[in-house]
Amino acid sequence: MLLRLADVRRTFGGLRAVDGVGFDVDEGEVHGLIGPNGAGKTTLLNLVSGLIRPSGGAIALEGRRIDRFPSHRIAALGITRTYQNIRLFPALSAAENVLVGSHLRREDPLWKRMLFLPGYRREEADAMQWALSLLSRVGMEERASERASNLSYGEQRRVEIARALASGPRVLLLDEPTAGMNPSEVASIAGLIREVARAGHSVLLVEHNVKLVMDVCDRITVLNFGKVIADGPPAAVAADPGVIAAYLGGEG
């Protein structure tokens, strides 16, 4: 088990946004997290990435509790993410955004840079090369020097995925990576997610596009009102009467 959530809870005032959620993400698995609006999906990603702390329960990476760690430590342990409302650094170029994403895998040559010692240029050139290789992985190498704020919506999403991959995470958290995309862009994101999983990263995917989730996920967890209402392979989840009721309304 790579990532394990056990009885994770988070309340905001009287609202139980996440109410006793538990599931596992295996090595190299694409794990879908779906549910109606307000089901607690994004809150769950915020909990896993350490932006907020759980009110109860445990989150463990390879058996090690991470739910009290600050987010930079969680990133260092191998969990990075993208955001539903894209959060690139707007004033930086696409390549610089990915360079920031590779912060963890770079050595810090600042003192060498201060003293003009050999080695720092090499390190910087290597880091830039790595950033460009990630951009080409998401098909964005031609826009590398464009300011992030000048990129189209779909391009920004791709750069954000490259940035999250740049540290070489064990688990990649994707928060609605295809929101606002057209069908051909969605198809290419689906291909990208499969490729990322093949490269050995586990993916926890929050997504509204049911077809995409059914296509790329090995396993799906369905949330409703902060609780898990179904968990299993795509076909089983799609046939679950509780899930159908939650999505279509009516009595479960």
Which chain residues interact with another protein by CB under 8 A? Answer: 49-51, 70-72, 74-76, 80-81, 83, 87-92, 96, 99-101, 103-104, 106-110, 113-114, 120, 124, 127, 163-164, 167
CB 96 to another protein: min, Å: 6
Separation between Cα atoms, residue 243 and residue 13, nearest integer Å: 27
CB 105 to another protein: min, Å: 9
CB 103 to another protein: min, Å: 5
Amino acid present at 60: A
**CB-nearer residue toward another protein: 131 or 190:** 131
**CB-nearer residue toward another protein: 57 or 101:** 101
Give how far Cα 140 sits from Cα of 60, 80, 131, Å.
34, 20, 11
How long, in residues, is the chain? 252
Give how far Cα 22 sits from Cα of 8, 124, 162, 196, 209, Å.
6, 42, 28, 24, 23
**CB-nearer residue toward another protein: 67 or 231:** 67
Separation between Cα atoms, residue 9 and residue 219, nearest integer Å: 22
Sorted by sequence, the CB contacts under 8 Å of residue 158 that are 6+ apart come out as: 138, 139, 140, 189, 192
**CB-nearer residue toward another protein: 170 or 219:** 170
CB 239 to another protein: min, Å: 36
**CB-nearer residue toward another protein: 101 or 154:** 101
CB 221 to another protein: min, Å: 22
